A and B are shown apart, each in its own frame.
Chain A
Amino acid sequence: MMHMRSPLLVAAAVVSFAAGTRAIQPPGPRPPAASLSRPDSPAKAPDAAGFIRRWLVLEPIAVPPQLGEAAVQKLVKDARFADQLNTNPTAGERVAVGDQQLVWHALDTRGYNLNLFHFAYALGKPTSNVLFWVTTTVDAPRDLPGVRLAIGSNAASVWWLNGQEVIGLYNDRQAVIDDGVSKRVTLKKGANVIRVAIVNGGGATDFCARFIDEGGRPVTGFTARVTGEGTGR
C-alpha cells in the first residue's frame, strides 16, 4: 500500500544517537521475521479457516511504481527470469534477474497471511516498488471439483492454478480475506501448483489464500508443500 504509517518504518531507520552525536550506521544483519519460520515438516495442512501456511517466495524484484491493470499485467507477463510461469523452483535455488541473483525461500507463516514486508525487510531487501513471485504445491487426496481459490493481496496480484490464470486484482489495495475469488475450479487429485505474482507500491505488503467450497466454507482436506533445502523434502 502507498500510505506508509507502519511503525516498522521507524524501526527501519538505521540512524542511531550516541553521546550527543549522530552517526549513520551501515545496515547490519537483521533478525529473522517473527511472523515467518522455516518449514520443519514435509507438508503442512491449511489452518482451520483453510488458509495455506506454506509458501516458496522469491526475493523481491524491483519494478516501476505502477499498479494499474495494464501495468501489472505487463509486469507479470514480461520475462523476469527463466520460465517464470512454468518453473518448479526449490528452496535455496538462485535465479538470475537482470544483474541480480535472487533466492527462493521456503516459508511457513504463523498467521493466516504471509507478510512479504517482514520477509523482505529481514533480508535487507526493498519493500517498495517490488514484484514478488510466490508458489506452493497443494496435494489433494482426491478430485475436489467446484472449489474456488480465494485470496487477498496487498497490493495488486495475479494468480495461476495449474498454469491457468484464475485471479487478477489491480490497483493499490489491502489484503482482505476472500477479496479475489476464482471461478469454480477443480483441485485435482495429487499435485496442484499455485503461482502468484504480487506487485507492491509502498508500505505494507502481504497476501493470504485459501480454497472455499460452493457454500463459501473453507476447504481443508489437502496439504501444501515446497521442496528444497531446509524443507525436509
Chain B
Amino acid sequence: MSGRLLNRITVAAALLLAVPPVLALDGEVRMHDPSTVVQADGKFYVYGTGNGLPAFVSDDGWTWRRAGPVMQAVPGGKPGPDVLAKGGNNTWAPDIIRSGDRYFLYYSAPGAQPKSAIGLLVGRTLDPASPDYQWEDAGPVVWSDGVEDCNAIDPGVFRDPANGTLWLTYGSYFGYIRLVQLDPRTGTRLHPQQKPVDIAVNSEASIMIARDGWYYLLVTHGSCCAGAASSYNIRMGRARKVTGPFLDNMGIDMLQGGGKLFAAATGRNVGPGHFGLLALGDGVEKFSLHYEADLDRGGISVLDIRPLLWRDGWPVAGENLPAGTYQIESARTGTVLEMAVPGVPVGGPRPRGAGGPGAATASPPPPIPSQEPSHVGGEWRSGVVDVRMGPHMLQAQQKWMISPAPNAGGHAGSPYFRIAIAGTDRVLTATADAELTVAPAFTGGPEQLWRIDQLGDGSYRLMPKAVPGATDGGWALSAVGSSSPTLAKFRGDGDRERWILKAP
C-alpha cells in the first residue's frame, strides 16, 4: 500500500467536495447498531436494534428491505429464560458470524443497565423463506450484574485468521470492554471459569479485525441516540496479541482511554458507530456502520457501507465515490483512459511564445480556458468510438463524468455508475469480446453500468455489471498496455486493474 498514493487521492477527494455525495445505500436502511453484514446464498444480511431484533436483507448489498424480526423464529418469540434472568427483555445491537454449518447470532438483552446479558441464537440459514429457518436459544454467553465494572451489551464476534479461534468483545461505557474466548462448535464460552480480559474503557460497539500480525480493536466513542446531536465516532487501537494491550497511534492504552480516530462525522452524515468488516473477496474490504443522523434523510439513523483502506498499518475509513468529473489513471502505466479521437492541445495549437520561453513580455498572456467538448467535439467521430489510454493532456476526451445511474441499483456500498465523457452522452461500454468502446448514448444496459470499488491502497476497481454474452463475472477495467485498456479478470496482486480517480 502506498501512503503517497492515498495522500494524492485524499487531495483529489478534497477537490471534489463541491459535488453532491452519493447517498448511503438504498431501500429500508433505517437502522441502529447494525451487526456485521454477512453474505449467504448470494444475499446480504444485517441485524439491528429493535423489537424482536429486526433483520434486513439485500440481493445486491445496495437495496435493503426488512425481513422480519429474528425473535419470530425463536421458540417462545423472545429471549430464553436464562437470558431474561441475567439481563432483560430488550433486543439490541446484535452481531453475527458463521461457524461451520451454523450461524451464531449474539444480541444484547439489557434489563436495567448495567445489568445485562448477551444472548446467543443458533441457526442454520439466514433466509426467512427457507423451511429450515429457525433460531434456537443457546442461552446467555456473558452478563453483567449491574454492579461490576461492565455493561454486557454490544457483542462483537471475531475469528482469529491466524488459528481459527473465536472471540467475543462486549461492553458499553460503564466500566470495561471485555474479551472472552468462544467455542467455535457451540458459540458459547470456551473457558467459562476464566475471568474475562479487560481490553478498553469509555466506549462501546467493540469488535476486532486482524491484518499482518496485528489485532485491531475498533470501538465507538462519544454519545449516541440523539440524532445530529450525537457525538459518536469510531476509534481504534492495535495489539500483537488478541488479548491486548491495544495501543493507539500515540501509544496510549485503550484501557486508559486511548483510541486513534477511524471515522467521524463527514459529508452529510453525523455520528458514525458500530464498525463491521465486510470482506468481498479478491482482497476488497469494506466496512458497515450506522450514522446517528443522515442529513439527506431527515436526520434518521441509517446503515452505510464504505471502503476500508489501509495506511501505515492502520485502517482508514474510505469514502464512497462522489459524483464528479475525473481522470481515470492507470496505476500500472500512469496513462489515462480516453476516447480514441485525435487530441487537440488545450487552447488549440499555438507556439511557446515569441522569442522563446524566456522572452520578456509587456504583460502576461491571458489564461487559457479548460477544454470542453464544445471546443473540440465537432472534430470527433460520431457513433461507436474505441477507447485507449494516453498521457495526461487535460483534453476533453480524457475527462469522464462518473455519476450514479438512476434506478439502476448497486452493490455493497455503492450504486452502479454511468461513466461518460464529461459534457456528452458518450458512455464507456463493455463489449462482447471483453473489450471496451465508447457508445454514443446511455441505454442503461448492464454493459454500461459500472461497479466502482475503492481498494485498500486508495485506488479503484471498475467493473461492468455484465460483459455481453459472458456467463462469468469478475471482469474489470485493466491496463494491458500503456495505451491499451481492456477487460480482464480482476487480480488483486498488482496494478493492472487498479485505477486512480483524479480531478482534472
Chain A contact residues, CB within 8 Å of chain B: 68-70, 148, 150, 167, 169-171, 176, 178-184, 212, 214, 216
Question: Count the B residues whose beta carbon is within 8 Å of the partner chain — how many?
Answer: 13
**Given the contacts A68-B342, A69-B342, A179 and B483 also touching, CB distance less than 8 Å:** yes
CB-CB nearest in chain B for A178? B481
Q: Judging by beta carbons under 8 Å apart, are A179 and B342 in contact?
A: no
Task: Tally the A-B contacts, defined by beta carbons under 8 Å.
Answer: 41
Q: Are B488 and A181 in contact (CB under 8 A)?
A: no
Find the A residue at minimum CB distance from B491.
Answer: A215
Contact B435 A181 (CB under 8 A): no
Q: Is B496 an interface residue (CB 8 A)?
A: yes
In the complex, A176 Cα to B483 Cα: how many Å?
Answer: 10
Contacts of B451-504 to chain A: CB distance below 8 A: 480-484, 486, 488, 496
* Chain A to chain B contacts (Cβ below 8 Å), 11 pairs: A69-B342, A171-B343, A178-B480, A178-B481, A178-B482, A181-B486, A183-B433, A183-B486, A184-B434, A216-B480, A216-B496
Docked complex Cα distance between A69 and B342 (Å): 6
Residue of A nearest to B496 (CB): A216
Query: CB-nearest residue of chain B relative to A71?
Result: B342
Residues of chain A within 8 A (CB-CB) of B484 are 150, 167, 178-182
Q: Is the CB of B481 within 8 A of A179?
A: yes
The 4 closest A-B pairs by CB, nearest first: A181-B481, A181-B484, A178-B481, A179-B482
Are the CB atoms of A183 and B435 closer together than 8 Å? yes
- Say yes or no: A150-B481 contact (C-beta < 8 A), given A69-B342, A70-B342, A216-B496: yes
**Complex Cα gap A167–B340 (Å):** 12
Other A-B pairs, 10, CB within 8 Å; known A170-B342, A180-B484, A181-B481? A150-B480, A150-B481, A171-B343, A178-B481, A179-B482, A179-B483, A183-B433, A183-B435, A184-B434, A216-B480
Query: Which residues on the A side are within 8 Å of B486 (C-beta)?
Result: 181, 183-184
Contacts of A176 in B (CB 8 A): 482
Alpha-carbon distance between A180 and B481 when the two chains are bound, in angstroms: 6
Q: Which residue of A lies closest to B434 (CB)?
A: A184
Q: Shortest CB–CB separation between residue A171 and chain B, in angstroms?
A: 8
A181 touches B480 (CB 8 A): yes
Contacts of A169 in B (CB 8 A): 483
The distance in angstroms between the C-alpha atoms of A214 and B496, with both chains bound, is 12
Distance (whole angstroms) from the CB of B438 to the closest CB of chain A: 15
B482 touches A184 (CB 8 A): no
Q: Give the shortest distance, in Å, between A44 (CB) and chain B (any CB).
A: 24
**A176→B482 CA distance, assembly (Å):** 8
The complex places the Cα of A181 from the Cα of B387 at a distance, in Å, of 12
How far apart are A161's CB and chain B's nearest CB, in angstroms? 14
A181 touches which one: B342, B343, B483 (CB < 8 A)? B483
A residues in contact with B342, CB < 8 Å: 68-70, 170
Measured between beta carbons, the chain B residues less than 8 angstroms from A171 are 343
